């Protein structure tokens, strides 16, 4: 069979997340137990790249449910500065591949401070397991493409399920409250499915505009800040575009001054609606025809991507991520932009960020994917 593509995994994410949600908070029960045993009054997530972005997508939801501070830091900043405060923090390390050398370094640093280390990964037999006290799978299953999408979505959901389970265990949620939170996440998956369908239609309508090799800017608040971080990363990785991301008010304090008719700008509306974002999108649509507003509230903007309203607004990252994953996966496939510039390819070894054995692990994942998904099943 043909190898599964990035777009295949984008489409598979909804089904995988529904399987994970059927398990409810049991999926994250081991992490919940560690958290309860720690007695911590805050959570610190140590991750980089898409894992960091996924944590930013989930952070506001986690804070709301847990009623405590949740911070997200990179492994490098954790080692250099961010390991001290908050002082009473439950640290969770994340490496989707399990081969991230910066996460391994952070785990070793934490051991040097005599801290118990817990790592989330998609591969529990990877090198991170040798550097952590406890290694937990977060429910991604098999994803054999470097440009992770399924892994990002399932990680966001796992962190949210952890928050619900931990709040229940700490007595901050009763049984009815837990059921209501799970129902809200189920609704987010319904909207996620609608986002996939809506984005396909959007791409058909805007294909020529999306295909132009121009700078791309992403604007969003709260959980959508994490969405914009991940969107900027994926556009840069797959489409080789110059990208940037901003919060709504930060965007109009200078970054907008560079925009001309060649730019693409994606504005992601707050679930309750942001006057700043909607007003800015309307104004910029007079500068470029590549200005798009992701929203659940019809605004009349020509470049609108309309989604159903969410029962749980802080879970908005789940459907919104799907929009940008679908755009990147579709266009990169159509435009064949996977490869880097030949000059960059010659020096890529200088940027090695994975532990030895990573290429072999990817090959093994590809074989598992071929065995798990008969031809056409994932498409």
Q: Are residues 72 and 133 in the same domain?
A: yes
Q: Are residues 139 and 64 in the same domain?
A: yes
Burial of 163: CB neighbours in 10 Å, binned 0-12, 13-18, 19+: buried
Give the model's pLDDT for residue 354. 76
Q: Are residues 248 and 167 in the same domain?
A: no
Q: How far is CA 107 from CA 34, 35, 220, 332, in A?
A: 16, 17, 32, 35
Does the pLDDT at position 1 exceed 90? Answer: no
Q: Are residues 48 and 130 in the same domain?
A: yes
Question: Based on the structure, what is the number of domains in the chain?
Answer: 2
Q: Are residues 276 and 140 in the same domain?
A: no
Average pLDDT, the chain: 93
Question: pLDDT tens-digit profile of 37-89?
Answer: 999 999 999 999 999 999 999 999 999 999 999 999 999 999 999 999 998 89
Which residue range forms the structural domain that includes residue 104?
6-173
Give the model's pLDDT for residue 379. 44
365 falls in which pLDDT band (50, 70, 90)? Answer: low
Does the pLDDT at position 136 exceed 90? Answer: yes
Q: Are residues 247 and 142 in the same domain?
A: no
What gap in Å lies between CA 362 and CA 3, rounded to an integer? 12
Average pLDDT, integer, range 197-218: 96
Of 147, 173, 199, the last residue of a domain is 173
Question: Among residues of the chain, what percentage have pLDDT more than 70?
Answer: 94
213 found inside a domain: yes
Question: pLDDT tens-digit profile of 94-128?
Answer: 999 888 999 999 999 999 999 999 999 999 999 99
352 falls in which pLDDT band (50, 70, 90)? Answer: confident
327 found inside a domain: yes
72 φ, ψ (degrees, to nearest 5): -125, 125
373 found inside a domain: no
Q: Are residues 136 and 93 in the same domain?
A: yes
Q: Are residues 46 and 115 in the same domain?
A: yes
What gap in Å lies between CA 1 and CA 202, rounded to an integer? 30
CB burial string 318-328: b at 16+ within 10 A, e below: bbbbbbbbbbb
193 found inside a domain: no
Question: pLDDT tens-digit profile of 54-67?
Answer: 999 999 999 999 99
Closest CA to 70 of 159, 169, 198: 159
Of 129, 154, 173, the last residue of a domain is 173
What gap in Å lies between CA 234 and CA 136, rounded to an integer? 26
277 falls in which pLDDT band (50, 70, 90)? Answer: very high
Query: Domain with 124 in it: what CATH number?
Result: 3.40.50.10490
Q: Are residues 140 and 256 in the same domain?
A: no
Q: Are residues 226 and 161 in the same domain?
A: no
Give the model's pLDDT for residue 348. 86
DSSP H/E element including 127: none
Q: Are residues 160 and 246 in the same domain?
A: no
């Amino acid at each position: 069979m043909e190898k599964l593509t990035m777009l295949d995994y984008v489409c598979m994410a909804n089904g995988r997340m529904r399987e994970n949600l059927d398990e409810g908070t049991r999926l994250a029960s081991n992490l919940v137990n560690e958290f309860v045993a720690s007695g911590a009054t805050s959570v610190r997530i140590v991750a980089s790249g898409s894992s960091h972005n996924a944590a930013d997508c989930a952070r506001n939801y986690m804070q709301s449910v847990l009623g405590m501070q949740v911070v997200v830091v990179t492994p490098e900043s954790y080692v250099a500065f961010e390991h001290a405060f908050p002082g009473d923090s439950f640290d969770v390390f994340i490496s989707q591949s399990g081969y991230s050398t910066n996460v391994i370094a952070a785990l070793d640093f934490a051991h040097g401070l005599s801290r118990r280390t817990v790592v989330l990964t998609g591969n529990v037999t990877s090198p991170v397991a040798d550097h952590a006290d406890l290694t937990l799978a977060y429910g991604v299953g098999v994803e054999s493409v470097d440009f992770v999408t399924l892994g990002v979505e399932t990680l966001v959901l796992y962190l949210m399920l952890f928050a619900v389970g931990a709040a229940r265990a700490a007595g901050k949620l009763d049984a009815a409250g837990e059921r209501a939170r799970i129902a809200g996440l189920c609704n987010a998956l319904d909207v996620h499915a609608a986002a996939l369908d809506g984005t396909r239609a959007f791409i058909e309508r805007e294909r020529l505009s999306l295909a132009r090799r121009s700078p791309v800017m992403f604007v969003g608040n709260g959980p959508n800040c994490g969405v914009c971080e991940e969107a900027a990363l994926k556009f840069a990785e797959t489409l080789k575009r110059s990208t940037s991301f901003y919060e709504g008010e930060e965007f109009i304090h200078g970054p907008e001054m560079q925009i001309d008719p060649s730019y693409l700008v994606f504005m992601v509306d707050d679930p309750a609606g942001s006057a700043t974002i909607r007003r800015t999108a309307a104004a910029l649509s007079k500068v470029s025809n590549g200005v798009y507003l992701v929203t659940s509230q019809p605004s009349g903007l020509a470049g609108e991507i309309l989604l159903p309203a969410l029962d749980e607004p802080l879970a908005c990252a789940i459907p919104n991520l799907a929009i940008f994953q679908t755009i990147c996966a579709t266009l990169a496939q159509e435009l064949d932009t996977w490869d880097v510039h030949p000059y960059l390819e010659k020096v890529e070894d200088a940027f090695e960020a994975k532990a030895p054995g990573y290429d072999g692990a990817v090959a093994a994942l590809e074989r598992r994917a071929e065995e798990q998904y008969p031809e056409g099943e994932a498409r």
